[in-house]
Amino acid sequence: MGVTITTPDRSRLVDLRRTFHEYPEPGWCEFWTTARIVDELETIGVDEIHVGPDAMDTSERLGVPDEAELEDWFERARDRYDGDSDVFDKIEGGNTGAVAVLERGEGPTVGLRVDIDALPITEADGADHDPTETGFRSENEGFMHACGHDAHITFGLGTLEAVKDSDFSGTFKVFFQPSEELLGGGKAMAAGPHIDDVEYMIGTHIGLGHSTGEVVAGGRGMLALNRMEVAFEGESSHAGLAPNAGRNAVQAFVTAAENVYAIPRHKEGATRVNVGRLHSTNPANIVADEVSAELEVRGDTTELMEYMRDRVERTLESAAEMHDCSVDYSLTGEAIRHDSDEVMVERVVDLASKIDEVTAATRWAEFGGSEDVTYLMKEASDSGGYATLIVIGTDHPGDHHTPTFDVDEESLGVGVSVLSETALSLFDDPVG
């Protein structure tokens, strides 16, 4: 390697991680988080900072909460924010997220994507939970960085800091993506103005059952996903006096639900379908005029997900028609399938195995869930480039998405080393 990297020291990374851990915000509500990221980017001194509408195509955002909820989080964030920031004007209304750019002349463009949103989980408050013990437990009761996105933000900032003064030729972009948990932000960022020139796209995730010091290069098997909010609307009538006079939204819904589970298996591979969040307020003495639910489908490939989505839509519409109701469904989250490229995987394994803190560098993490970094990875592929996921191991006491999840802060440095080495190596010696 022809470059020297100065990884930020441990305490700097720990500070950053704890700062963000303490104030978790859900998807499209990362107002304070975005403002703080921008502050740090200014401190680091990157060449460009694009915020909110300048960072993505906001019309492609999925699953944006309603006005009241956005407003509530926005006000809370502004109250908490120390000092002034014109960032707030840009991000109001759920336009969170940012892209940071280091420009170093001719050369390839390398992208790193980190996600920044938190989960609606109440953080553990036992003495054996380090954030509680040490004093940086979530201040937003009921919300928590329970999937390590606080560490991911730290990876993004730390890697910029590490790379900034290196002698490389090309462009380095870090995508601070909102709303990954609900698969709402990947599509919007991939549709934004900063992805087109990216030749190498790196996604990263901490933990996933791998210990501190382990690095896994490459991810595959993530299912493509489509999630929708569904609302059947009928007409009420008295269930005793005039059952025939209603247009029964419960009957429309249950017919749809029965049948979406029965969509034929597909010969090309795995498919999934599930229905949740049922809601209807009409008491039993009233024929229901509304039922809402959430519905998701998945597929081994984007095409299989689309097969399921098309069948679901046909089923919803026919079920509504059958019971003389109407149905609305709107996309609230989506991810495509895109596996890592073998050449990138090999490069990362090579590099990682030379890094001291890395105790084991292996290939291919198998995912069963869904991730919307795939949109950004696919953009790189479609432009003739390459992409990979890199899993940075960390000892985590509780599972992801549970109240006792925590990261081993020793792994923060490992992540920054691996990610910055990978980025710089791609400038120095492009793969593919």
Q: Is 181 annotated as a binding residue?
A: yes
Phi, psi of 185 (to 5 degrees): -105, -20
Shorter beta-carbon distance to a copy of itself: residue 10 or 238: 238
Min dist CB 180 to a copy of itself, Å, is 13
Min dist CB 349 to a copy of itself, Å, is 26
Residue ranges binding a copy of itself (CB under 8 A): 223, 225, 227, 238-246, 248, 250-251, 253-255, 257-259, 261-262, 264-288, 291, 293-296, 298, 307, 314-315, 317-319, 321-322, 324, 368-370
Q: Is 210 annotated as a binding residue?
A: no
Per 3-state DSSP, the chain is made up of helix, strand and coil in percentages (nearest 5) of 35, 25, 40
- Give residue 185's identity as a one-letter amino acid code: G
Among 184, 108, 222, 144, which Cα is nearest to 405's? 144
Measured CA to CA, the distance from residue 255 to residue 327 in angstroms comes to 13
Work out whether the CA dihedral 356, 163, 178, 332 comes out positive or negative: negative
Shorter beta-carbon distance to a copy of itself: residue 174 or 224: 224
Min dist CB 334 to a copy of itself, Å, is 13
Shorter beta-carbon distance to a copy of itself: residue 37 or 222: 222
Shorter beta-carbon distance to a copy of itself: residue 93 or 221: 221
For residue 283, the tally of other CB atoms under 10 A from its CB is 8
Min dist CB 178 to a copy of itself, Å, is 19
200-206/109-115 β-pairing: parallel
**CA 335 vs CA 270, 344, 395: distances in Å:** 15, 21, 28
Kindly give, in sequence order, each residue whose CB lies less than 8 Å from that of residue 205, ignoring residues fewer than 6 positions away: 148, 152, 219, 371, 389, 390, 391, 392
Shorter beta-carbon distance to a copy of itself: residue 159 or 282: 282
For residue 208, the tally of other CB atoms under 10 A from its CB is 21
Min dist CB 128 to a copy of itself, Å, is 25
Min dist CB 301 to a copy of itself, Å, is 13
- Tokens 């909820």, residue located: 69
Write out 93-151 in H/E/C secondary structure.
Answer: CCCCCEEEEEEECCCCEEEEEEECCCECCCCCCCCCCHHHHHCCCCCCCCCECCCCHHH
- Give residue 280's identity as a one-letter amino acid code: S
Shorter beta-carbon distance to a copy of itself: residue 322 or 360: 322
Min dist CB 335 to a copy of itself, Å, is 10
**Half-sphere exposure at residue 210, Cβ-oriented, CA atoms within 13 angstroms:** 25
Phi, psi of 27 (to 5 degrees): -50, 135
Shorter beta-carbon distance to a copy of itself: residue 137 or 266: 266
Shorter beta-carbon distance to a copy of itself: residue 59 or 244: 244
Q: Is 149 annotated as a binding residue?
A: yes
Shorter beta-carbon distance to a copy of itself: residue 334 or 341: 334
Give the end-to-end CA distance of the chain in Å, rounded to a whole number: 18
Min dist CB 254 to a copy of itself, Å, is 4
Min dist CB 226 to a copy of itself, Å, is 10
Q: Is 194 annotated as a binding residue?
A: no
Tokens of 235: 């007409």
What dihedral do alpha carbons 318, 322, 323, 326 form, nearest 10°?
30
Q: Binding site membership for Mn(2+): which residues?
A: 147, 149, 181, 205, 401
Q: Which residues are annotated as a binding site?
A: 147, 149, 181, 205, 401
